[in-house]
């Protein structure tokens, strides 16, 4: 039997999979906490976390147990029927978000699509148009509507792009005021632009967006797909800014690695939705909901929201002590952190991977760290030691 190696599996991948990913030459086989191992047995510290997905680390015992138990009882049913995990998760999400209604999806892109539909249905119900205002360098998914709202580079080759979307300069409140018309139905914004290079929305900008939406009766949609579930040192990033959106899309850390997303909405905008206006086959299935309930329990009981906030302070102190001139800026909140450099960062991420550290290069010149919320300082210190060594070699 042929020996399985990183390279042999990558050759198999190249022969069969649609070539959409610029993969690293690693094939991961197992994980535990903040560590993963490839098929050849090499160990890595993982600060990518499936891009902010593995919120409680790989294979947390309580997560695994919840999935195994539910898989042995009931995995999937039609949404014409209710399951206990779905009912319990709906209530939990309502309690921790302060919003009123929940709709389950399978991913962040689906959650954003659902948010857009709710916003447009409400806008039409009060005589407004359905145009969605979004922002430059934003990222909301890879479906047709979400690329229409996102960065232009993801639209190339996919014409015709859906109409009714207008991108505006990020953190520019005057541009928003000038763009609003009676055709404007919603404003879609990330609290922190993840793919855009870990660029936080300014406090003033997001709070003014909330005020404008109140004044104009426009739906404020907050994309918390990457920032939710303790990632920013608060359960949701909206709490950092002291605002409540009308609609919020969530996913990623919600399932800790199991696919699930949701749209949360206020009673005001939800009232426009009627039976049959939206639907899903797999969204909210018992298995996904049981997995998500376990994740939220671990986050709450292990104090991971508070830990993320503490780790940000520690991280910033470590970077300041490093005094590295190649680092132009430290950005982000909690354990959604970015280092901007004065050079393209993909080669740096590749060098770190070779040395046993998985980090994410994004936006051209940024290294993004979105590890498990329970990563230890000892583990993160090894990450920063590796970064320091690589920069010296660079």
pLDDT in tens, 236-255: 999 999 999 999 999 999 99
- Dihedral sign (CA 133, 137, 141, 145): positive
Peptide bond into 265 cis (omega under 30): no
Q: What is the dihedral of CA 59, 61, 63, 64, to 10 degrees?
A: 70
Using a pLDDT cut of 70, give the percent of the chain over it. Answer: 100
Distance CA 263, CA 122 (A): 15
What does the mean pLDDT of the chain come to? 98
* Packing angle, helices 304-322 and 286-301, rounded to 10: 60
Distance CA 322, CA 325 (A): 9
Q: What's the chain's Rg over C-alpha atoms?
A: 21
pLDDT average, residue stretch 127-141: 98
pLDDT number for residue 1: 57
Question: With contact defined as beta carbons under 8 Å apart, do 309 and 334 qualify?
Answer: yes
Distance CA 200, CA 197 (A): 9
pLDDT over 90 (residue 232): yes
pLDDT average, residue stretch 59-73: 98
Query: What single-letter DSSP state applies at residue 251?
Result: -
Grouping H, G, I as helix, E, B as strand and the rest as coil, residue 264 is: strand
pLDDT over 90 (residue 105): yes
Q: What is the pLDDT of residues 260-314, one digit of tens each?
A: 999 999 999 999 999 999 999 999 999 999 999 999 999 999 999 999 999 999 9
Q: What is the pLDDT of residues 342-380, one digit of tens each?
A: 999 999 999 999 999 999 999 999 999 999 999 999 999
2 — pLDDT class (breaks 50, 70, 90): confident
Distance CA 264, CA 247 (A): 6
Distance CA 75, CA 73 (A): 7
54 — pLDDT class (breaks 50, 70, 90): very high
Question: With contact defined as beta carbons under 8 Å apart, do 262 and 295 qualify?
Answer: no
- Dihedral sign (CA 117, 244, 260, 146): positive
Q: What is the number of other CB atoms lying within 10 angstroms of the CB of residue 275? A: 6
* This model's pTM is above 0.95: yes
Distance CA 110, CA 250 (A): 10
Phi, psi of 56 (to 5 degrees): -110, 20
Distance CA 377, CA 115 (A): 37
pLDDT average, residue stretch 178-182: 98
Tokens of 99: 């919003």
């Amino acid at each position: 039997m042929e020996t399985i190696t990183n390279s042999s599996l990558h050759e198999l991948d190249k022969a069969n999979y649609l070539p959409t990913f610029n993969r690293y030459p690693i094939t991961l086989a197992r994980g535990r906490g903040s560590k993963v191992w490839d098929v050849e047995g090499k160990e890595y510290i993982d600060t990518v976390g499936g891009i902010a997905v593995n919120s409680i680390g790989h294979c947390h015992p309580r997560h695994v147990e919840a999935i195994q138990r539910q898989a042995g009882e009931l995995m999937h049913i039609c949404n014409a029927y209710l399951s206990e995990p779905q009912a319990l998760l709906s209530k939990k999400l309502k309690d921790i978000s302060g919003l009123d209604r929940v709709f389950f999806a399978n991913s962040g892109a689906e959650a954003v699509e659902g948010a857009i539909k709710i916003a447009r249905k409400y806008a039409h119900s009060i005589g407004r148009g359905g145009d969605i205002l979004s922002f430059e360098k934003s990222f909301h998914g890879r479906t047709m509507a979400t690329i229409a709202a996102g960065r232009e580079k993801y639209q190339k080759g996919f014409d015709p792009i859906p109409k009714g979307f207008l991108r505006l300069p990020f953190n520019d409140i005057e541009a928003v005021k000038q763009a609003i018309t009676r055709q404007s139905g919603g404003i879609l914004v990330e609290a922190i632009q993840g793919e855009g290079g870990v660029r936080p929305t300014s406090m003033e900008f997001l709070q003014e967006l909330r005020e404008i939406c109140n004044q104009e009766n426009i739906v404020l949609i907050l994309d918390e797909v990457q920032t939710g579930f303790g990632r920013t040192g608060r359960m949701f990033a909206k709490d950092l800014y002291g605002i409540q959106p009308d609609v919020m899309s969530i996913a990623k850390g919600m399932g800790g690695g199991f696919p699930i997303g949701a749209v949360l909405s206020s009673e005001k905008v939800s009232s426009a939705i009627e039976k049959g206006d939206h639907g899903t086959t797999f969204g909210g299935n018992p298995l996904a909901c049981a997995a998500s309930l376990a994740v939220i329990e671990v986050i709450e009981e292990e104090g991971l929201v508070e830990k993320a906030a503490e780790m940000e302070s520690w991280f910033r102190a470590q970077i300041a002590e490093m005094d590295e001139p190649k680092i132009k800026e430290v950005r982000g909140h909690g354990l959604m952190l970015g280092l901007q450099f004065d050079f393209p960062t993909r080669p740096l991420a590749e060098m770190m991977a070779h040395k046993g550290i998985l980090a994410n290069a994004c936006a051209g010149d940024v290294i993004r760290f979105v590890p498990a919320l329970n990563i230890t300082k000892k583990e993160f210190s090894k990450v920063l030691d590796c970064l320091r060594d690589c920069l010296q070699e660079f």
